[in-house]
Amino acid sequence: MSLELKNIEMKVGVETYIHQTNLKLEKNTINILLGSTLAGKTTLMQIMAGLLKPTSGEIWFNEKNVTGLKVQGRNVSMVYQQFINYPNFTVYENIASPLKIIGVNPSEIKERVGKVAELLKLSPMLDKKPDELSGGQQQRTALARALVKDSDLILLDEPLANLDFKLREELREELPKLFEDRECIVVYATTEPTDALMMGGNTATLLEGKVIQYGKTLEVYNNPHNLSSAEVFSEPPLNITDIKKIGDTCSFLDNSAQWKTKINIKDGNYKIGIRPHNVTIKKNEGNSVEIKGKILISELSGSESIIHFKNGKFNWVSLSSGSHQIKVGEEIKLYMNVDECLFFDKSNRLVKNG
């Protein structure tokens, strides 16, 4: 089983929604589409589902060209951010509906609905109507309906975005387990890097209608091919600054920070990207260099402190463990772990990490 997008392109009027895209998804995989709103995640999913016909290019499913085949002719389930349920049906009837349509016998329906309801903790509310449920329960009902039929392709479009924080945390741990012993391809769209990291699988980073990188989730996280991919996959946002490298020395353009390096790249100017957890208030293990910061704002999350500061003309974010509250406007020292710097060249391609 595989789903392949071959040279897909989607234009609406003069606007390009999806730039030429090639993507091959294999069976039994969870694939995260990670990108901000308007990056093209939903459009891409609608093309995969057959709800939209691409302007050019082909979609292949199981080595068969299915371009132009309508959604009804494909074995697809889709769950949207805004949960959609039949308001007059009970939870049971909602979950059972796709099975009834394809004529599954009643005893099997009962068994399958029972099983999926158990997984999604809906068993106690099978007789209730959707409007008697909380938002989280309604979304789990919509998820259950997508899971109850044996779809080849399950498309989840930000399914947890409207849910409570804690429920989201719980469900993103549960979801991968639900697919563990199923023969299907799962595509999951989200704006949150943490979702991708928690779900594992593969990740495609998207920006402005382009897939900028696709690979194993941690591989994409650790080795973003370009600056955009690194930015899409960082939360809090990636810190970016200009540096020059001469011989074995790297330094900020204003010379306010300097460090020795062993990396083997040509001398010249580069951009470095460094994630906030590698810029800390206290010196951590590894090679770190002191940088100056003027505090813009400091936030506490209980276990961690998020400090926004200015270094030269750039705004930075630091994420440190422990509680540090620093006054706005104060000038402090922070430590940047140079082992974790990502180096990008003039065309923003990754040249080296570390």
Cα 20 to Cα 12: distance, rounded to the nearest angstrom: 14
Residue 136 binds other proteins, judged by CB under 8 A:
yes
Residue 281 binds other proteins, judged by CB under 8 A:
no
Q: Which of 64, 166, 262, 313 binds other proteins (CB under 8 A)?
A: 166
Stretch of 2-10, 48-56, 208-216, 316-324 contacting other proteins, by CB under 8 A: 316-324
Instruction: Show the tokens assigned to 98.
Output: 């796709």
Non-local CB neighbours of 72 within 8 Å, separated by 6+ positions: none
Considering the complex, what minimum distance in angstroms separates the CB of residue 324 from other proteins? 11
- In terms of CB distance, is 153 or 160 closer to other proteins? 160
Distance of CA 125 to CAs 120, 121, 234, Å? 11, 9, 38
Q: Is 282 exposed, middle or buried (0-12, 13-18, 19+ CB in 10 A)?
A: exposed
Q: Which of 162, 251, 348, 353 binds other proteins (CB under 8 A)?
A: 162
Residue 192 binds other proteins, judged by CB under 8 A:
yes
Residue 277 binds other proteins, judged by CB under 8 A:
yes
Residue 124 binds other proteins, judged by CB under 8 A:
no
Residue 16 binds other proteins, judged by CB under 8 A:
no
Instruction: Show the tokens assigned to 212.
Output: 């900028």
CB 122 within 8 A of CB 128: no
Angle (CA) 295 301 306, round 5°: 25
Considering the complex, what minimum distance in angstroms separates the CB of residue 179 from other proteins? 16
Residue 285 binds other proteins, judged by CB under 8 A:
yes
Residue 326 binds other proteins, judged by CB under 8 A:
no
Residue 19 binds other proteins, judged by CB under 8 A:
no
To which H or E segment does residue 166 belong? helix 165-179
Backbone angles phi, psi at 284, to 5 degrees: -100, 175
Residue 236 binds other proteins, judged by CB under 8 A:
yes
Residue 130: asked if its preceding bond is cis (omega within 30°), the reply is no
Binding site for other proteins (CB under 8 A): 36-38, 134-136, 162, 164-167, 169, 191-194, 197-198, 200, 218, 221, 235-237, 275, 277, 285-286, 296-297, 299-303, 306, 308, 317, 319, 321, 323, 328
